[in-house]
Structure 1
Amino acid sequence: MSTAYSEHYSIRDYKAWKGDWELVYGEPYAMTPSPGVSHQRLERKLLVQLDAGLSQCGKCEALSEIDWCVSDDTVVRPDIVIACDV
């Protein structure tokens, strides 16, 4: 019986790739095409609400479409993330 081998990638590899990808535990995943209009409208409304709620904080903000480097072999791009002390 043979064992399948898959290459383990890092953030360094990820930064050299063309196109839209996420890297999860060293494994690349091609991203789907851009979201539709209704998704983008909902995302915008949610960002506005989050920003309003975070306005008193002074340390945190709501961001979208940002590469979040979780570890040396994981980079994801969530629709929305709340980042503090950036």
Structure 2
Amino acid sequence: MEHIFETLWSLLVRTIRFLLIDILIDLVLQGLGYAGIKLLKLITGGRYPAGPVAEQSESLKVGCGVVMLLLLFMVWLWLWSAGILH
């Protein structure tokens, strides 16, 4: 009986940990995506992405978040290879 409770507790802890990590990743990607969309609008003078629906699209925010994350990684890698971040 004790083994069942340990297994259930372990499953519960792993599920909560997974959900917290999933929510954190989603928030980071959404936040970076929102910042990327705002930056893109600033650079293009508001021409892209067009329309009020484009700013509300979840997939657009997540996609921009992934791109922003890759750009941040590339900048970090460039600074590290230049010897600035040793």
Shared fold (TM-score greater than 0.5)?
no
More strand by share: 1
TM (norm. structure 1) is 0.33
TM (norm. structure 2) is 0.33
More helix by share: 2
